[in-house]
Amino acid sequence: MRNAMKVAKWEIKRNLKNKTFLIGLFLTPLLILGFAFIGSLVGSDDDEAMTNVYIVDALGVYDVIEETANVAELDWNVHQADLSEEEAEKDLADKEDAAYIFVDKRAVDEGIIPVYTSEEIASYFMSEVQVLESPIKAQQMKEIGLSDEQLAAVSTHIQFEEVGSAVEEDDSESSG
């Protein structure tokens, strides 16, 4: 056992006096930290950008929709807009990560709300839009006097229908 301790002391002294060991001891953590820092600078684009959501509101529910988006903590910048659906399609061709939601009489009558989205929008955006069903459903109930026919209308689900832009349709027709 006595010789084992002598051998261990000798090995430690030999390694501590070795230049390669000392350089590796201090340089390795510095290299790891350096690459981590460079990776964080390069990878800082991972932060998700806010989606610009433009509400074309004919029912007067913009404030409720904006509040619902804030309560649900959606990464949306909600704006009120006054465009036609054709103008919205043209406008989306120039924008990234944007959507137009048309809340009009169709929402009450048919339960369908057209949602126009840009090509670069997140794939989960249409799932997030479903959060808006409750305030629109409440508006639907306010507008009806709740007879049997109207109760049937209230019990139908509201669907958000994604409408592709005309530019995408023209590209797919010309390539096919």
- Supply the pTM of this predicted model: 0.58
Same domain membership, residue 34 and residue 69: no
Question: Which of 80, 87, 93, 90 minimizes the C-alpha distance to 53?
Answer: 80
Q: Residue 57 sits in which domain range? A: 51-175
CATH of the domain at 165: 3.40.1710
Same domain, 32 and 116: no
102 and 152, same domain (yes or no): yes
| Shared-domain flag, residues 16 and 69 | no
Phi first, then psi, for residue 138 (nearest 5°) are -65, -40
Give tens-digit pLDDT for 112-165. 889 999 888 888 888 889 888 877 777 777 676 666 666 566 667 778 888 877
Grouping H, G, I as helix, E, B as strand and the rest as coil, residue 123 is coil
Is 71 in the same domain as 131?
Answer: yes
Pairing, β 51-57 against β 76-81: parallel
